[in-house]
Structures are given as C-alpha cells and as structure tokens.
Structure 1
Amino acid sequence: MIINKQEFYVNGINYTVRSAIERDAKDLSGLRLQIDGETENLDREKGEAFIDVPGFEQIIKTDTENRRNLFLVAVVHDRIVGFSRCEGNHLNRFSHKIDFGVCVIKDFWGYGIGGNLLKESISWADSNGIKKITLNVLETNDKAIKLYKKLGFEIEGILKKDKILSDGKYYNTIIMGRFNE
C-alpha cells in the first residue's frame, strides 16, 4: 500500500516519512547493510541475508501492490535514514494481522524517527481494518520496549535464550502485540 507522506520536525531536524518507491532500492540495500553493522538489536550481523538492489525493487513492488503490506522510509535532506515494513500473511486465518519491523541509522537515533515510522504504520493499519500488529524486540532494547508499550503494545511472550550476541551470551527475544478492537 501507499500512504500520504508526512513531515516531522524533531530536535532540530526536518524529516519526511513516505512510502518506499522503486528508485529507493539502491539506497535501501546500502542502508540495511550499514544499520546491521551498527547495532545488535536486529536479527542480522553485517552482511548476513544481504538484499541487493533487485531484491529491494521486488520487495517495494510487492509491498506497494499488496493491501496488507506497507514499506515506509524516513528521509532527511533527500537521504534515507531509516525504514519500516509491515508484512501481512496471505493465509485467511492470519488476515487480521501484520508483522512490523523498523531500523534507523545510529546517527539519527533520538529524533523520533522509529516512533514516527511506527505511528504511521499503526494509523495505516487501523484505517485499513488490520486488527493486530506484532513485533519482536531484543530484551536489552529498553527504549524500544518503552516506546512500544506507550503505543499500546503488550508483551505476549518471551523466546528464552533466543539470540547469541558478540559477547557470547544468550539473550531473550520479547514478542509484543497491539490489538485494535
């Protein structure tokens, strides 16, 4: 699906949240690789599950055409600095829900970009009859967990010792969901 772009001004910077378009694919491929190397909050290490330009072009095309998918980008001065995806399931028993994921480059943490990507996704979901949004978050990502709770998400479960990080220790993944009645 496509949404109308939204403008934000937070902590001294202007940025836009808009639907991804095919010409974003090149920037997104590099951006995802960069972000994966900046934080252990995501599932991948840098270079793992690499998505090339044609791969991102296909994801954007699919998400644009599918009414249960949404691919958003955050743009500062014509530069993509973050993105989020909502992905629905084609099975009827799961047609009421989507999975959400978000990432923002480290230089732009603290500007509300991830939160605004999520808020736009929630607004889109609520206005399109999607009843449930689910997401996974690393147990140590306190800021994200606090934001998700503030926006109506609840902890639904914990995957114990789900990830091993660079320190060699195991960490839990928290499963959260937001249901819109």
Structure 2
Amino acid sequence: MKISNKEFDVNGLTYTIRSSIKTDAKHLSELRLQIDGETDNLDRERGEAFIDVSGFEQLINTDTISTRNLFLVAVADERIVGFSRCEGTYLKRFSHKVEFGVGVLKDFWGYGIGKNLLKESIAWADSNDIKKITLNVLETNTKATELYKRHGFEIEGILRNDKILSNGEYYNTIVMGRFNDSE
C-alpha cells in the first residue's frame, strides 16, 4: 500500500517519510548492505541475504499493490537514509497481523527516523484493520525495546541463545507485539 508523504524536522534535520517507489530499488540495495555492516542489531551480517536491484523492484511492486504490506523510506538530503517494512500474509489465520522491520543509517541515528517510520506504520496498520504488529529485537538493543514499549508493544517471549554475533557470544531475541482491539 501507499501512504501520503510526511515531512519531519528533528534536531535540525529535515526528512520525508514516504512510500517506496520503483526508482528507489538501487539505493535500497546499497543502503541495506551498508546498514547490515553498521550494527549487530539486525539479523544479517554485511552481504548476507543480499537483495539486488531487481529483487527490490519486486518487493516494492508487491508492497505497493498489497493491502497487507507497507514499504516506507526516509529521505534526507535527497537520499534514502532509512526504511521500514510491514509484511503480512494472506493465510486467513494470520490475516490480522503484519511483521515490522526497520533500518536506519548509523549517521542518521538520533533524528527520530526509526521512531517516525514506526509511528507511520502503526497509523497505517490501525487505519487498515490490521490488529497486530509483531517484531523481533536483539536483547541488547534496549533503546529499541523501550521505543517499542512506548508505542504499545509488549514482550511476548524470549528466544534464548537465538543469535550468535561476531564476538562469538550467544544472545537472546525478544519477541514483541502490539495488538489494537479498538473498533
């Protein structure tokens, strides 16, 4: 699906959050690769599960026409600096929920980009009869966990020793969900 563009000005940085478009594919492929190499908070190490330009074009096309998916980008200084995706399914037993994921370039942390991508995704979900948003977060990413809690997410479980990071240590994954039962 698509949303209307929203502009934000946070700590002196002006950026726009908008739906992804086909011409974003090249930048998204490069951006995802860079973000994966900047943090241990994501599932992938740099270069793993690489998505090329045509792969992103397919994702963008699918997400644009699907009523259960949303692919957003954050644009600052005329370049994409972050993105988020909500991905749903057409299986009837899970049709009420989507899974949320987000990534922001490290140089752009602290400008509320991740928070605003989350808020726009929640607003979209709430206005499109999506009752539940789920996500996974690394146990050491306390800033993200607290952000999600402030926006109505609750811890639903912990996956013990779920990830092994570059330091050779095992870490837990926190499973979180936000359920909107208001009518």
Query: Is the TM value for this pair above 0.5?
Result: yes
The number of residues matched between the two structures is 181
Q: Name the residue aligned to 1:140.
A: 140
Listed as ranges, the matches of 1:1-181 within 5 Å are 1-181=1-181
Q: Distance in 2 between matches of 1:166 and 1:31?
A: 21
How far the C-alpha of 1:79 sits from its partner, in A, is 0.4
How far the C-alpha of 1:29 sits from its partner, in A, is 0.2
Q: Distance in 2 between matches of 1:32 and 1:77?
A: 18
Question: What does the per-residue CA deviation read over 1:108-150, in whole Å, with 9 as the maximum and x for residues that have no partner?
Answer: 0000000000000000000000000000000000100000000
Amino acid at match of 2:117: L
How far the C-alpha of 1:90 sits from its partner, in A, is 1.3
Q: Distance in 1 between matches of 2:102 and 2:80?
A: 13
Q: Distance in 2 between matches of 1:96 and 1:177?
A: 12
SS in 1 for 2:54: helix
Q: Distance in 2 between matches of 1:127 and 1:173?
A: 29
**CA RMSD, aligned part only?**
0.3
How far the C-alpha of 1:159 sits from its partner, in A, is 0.3
TM norm structure 1:
1.00
How far the C-alpha of 1:24 sits from its partner, in A, is 0.1
Q: Distance in 1 between matches of 2:30 and 2:133?
A: 27
Q: Distance in 1 between matches of 2:167 and 2:48?
A: 18
Amino acid at match of 2:45: E
How far the C-alpha of 1:166 sits from its partner, in A, is 1.0
How far the C-alpha of 1:93 sits from its partner, in A, is 0.5
Question: What does the per-residue CA deviation read over 1:13-65, in whole Å, with 9 as the maximum and x for residues that have no partner?
Answer: 00000000000000000000000000000000000000000000000000000
How far the C-alpha of 1:7 sits from its partner, in A, is 0.4
How far the C-alpha of 1:70 sits from its partner, in A, is 0.1
Unaligned stretches of 5+ in structure 2?
none
How far the C-alpha of 1:78 sits from its partner, in A, is 1.1
Q: Distance in 1 between matches of 2:12 and 2:78?
A: 16
SS in 2 for 1:59: helix
Q: Distance in 2 between matches of 1:62 and 1:107?
A: 30
Unaligned stretches of 5+ in structure 1?
none
